[in-house]
């Protein structure tokens, strides 16, 4: 589904696995390239990157956005899923947010040459807009400790430091596996942004 045309770039929402299939190769290339750079320096095999997209579009209530140039070249992406679908992250959030009513912004990436055009912020804003506020009262994400453009975007959009960290192990560009610390940010979804009052029970 086309959400926006930005010159030669299209912001698309992937509704299901069939929609995402034609962009799989483009997503894999973008995912590998983006995360091989700073601050993560991570190495993903094509099958691993492809599984990120496949799992996301197979998850209930997913929000998968791709920024595409031409027929299928992916230059940016933003993925969101219910927190309950990510038990590893949900465990770290136990007692801090209502797991069944929290949404997780799982992935955000923009290729270097397309940064500085507002794509990252646009992908965060659009995912926030698309979250079903009848089901979800909180939204959270995990980011590098480094103060960079992404952190500025999140703070500008009302996310706050939760004071909670998670050690994440990943394969690096040199083939070694090392851990680094990621910071959680969260935001309460305002009731007035919903069409009807939100009722949350634990």
Residue 192 is predicted with a pLDDT of 47
CA-based nearest residue to 52, from 74, 32, 36, 69 = 32
The mean pLDDT value for 13-39 works out to: 95
Computed over every residue of the chain, the mean pLDDT equals: 92
Residues 59-85 have pLDDT tens digits of 999 999 999 999 999 999 999 999 999
Collapsing DSSP states into helix, strand and coil, what is residue 25? helix
Residue 176 is predicted with a pLDDT of 95
Residue 102 is predicted with a pLDDT of 98
Residue 87 is predicted with a pLDDT of 95
Residue 191 is predicted with a pLDDT of 64
> Which letter, b or e, does each residue of 64-85 get, where b requires 16 or more Cβ atoms within 10 Å of its Cβ?
bbbbbbeeebbbbbbbbbbbbb
Residue 43 is predicted with a pLDDT of 96
Collapsing DSSP states into helix, strand and coil, what is residue 159? coil
Residues 78-90 have pLDDT tens digits of 999 999 999 999 9
Instruction: With beta carbons less than 8 A apart as the criterion, state whether 144 and 154 touch.
Output: no
Q: In this prediction, what percent of the chain has a pLDDT beyond 90?
A: 87
Q: Which CATH number fits domain 2-193: 3.30.70.120, 3.20.20.100, 3.40.50.1370, 3.40.630.30?
A: 3.40.630.30
Per DSSP, helices labelled H in the chain are: 17-21, 24-36, 46-57, 87-92, 119-130, 149-156
Per DSSP, helices labelled H in 58-198 are: 87-92, 119-130, 149-156
Preceding omega of 39 cis (within 30 degrees of 0): yes
Distance, CA of 142 to CA of 20 (rounded, Å): 24
| Dihedral over alpha carbons 34, 31, 70, 67 (to 10 degrees) | -80
Residues 140-195 have pLDDT tens digits of 999 988 766 788 899 999 999 999 999 999 999 999 999 989 999 999 997 644 44
The mean pLDDT value for 32-46 works out to: 94
- Hey, where are the domains in the chain? 2-193
Residue 197 pLDDT grade (very low, low, confident, very high; cuts 50, 70, 90): very low
């Amino acid at each position: 589904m086309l959400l926006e045309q930005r010159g030669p770039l299209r912001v698309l929402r992937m509704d299901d696995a069939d929609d995402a299939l034609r962009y799989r190769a483009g997503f894999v290339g973008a995912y590998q390239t983006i995360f091989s750079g700073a601050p993560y320096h991570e190495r993903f095999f094509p099958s691993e990157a492809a599984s990120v997209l496949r799992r996301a579009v197979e998850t209930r209530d997913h929000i998968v956005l791709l920024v595409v140039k031409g027929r299928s070249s992916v230059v940016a992406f933003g993925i969101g899923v219910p927190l309950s679908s990510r038990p590893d992250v949900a465990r770290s959030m136990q007692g801090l947010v209502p797991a069944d009513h929290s949404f997780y912004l799982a992935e955000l990436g923009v290729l270097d040459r397309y940064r500085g055009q507002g794509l990252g912020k646009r992908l965060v804003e659009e995912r926030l807009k698309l979250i079903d506020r009848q089901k979800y009262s909180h939204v959270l994400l995990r980011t590098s400790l480094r103060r960079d453009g992404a952190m500025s975007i999140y703070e500008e959009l009302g996310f706050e430091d939760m004071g909670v960290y998670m050690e994440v192990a990943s394969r690096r560009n040199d083939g070694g596996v090392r851990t680094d610390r990621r910071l959680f940010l969260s935001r309460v979804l305002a009731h007035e942004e919903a069409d009807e009052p939100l009722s949350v029970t634990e």
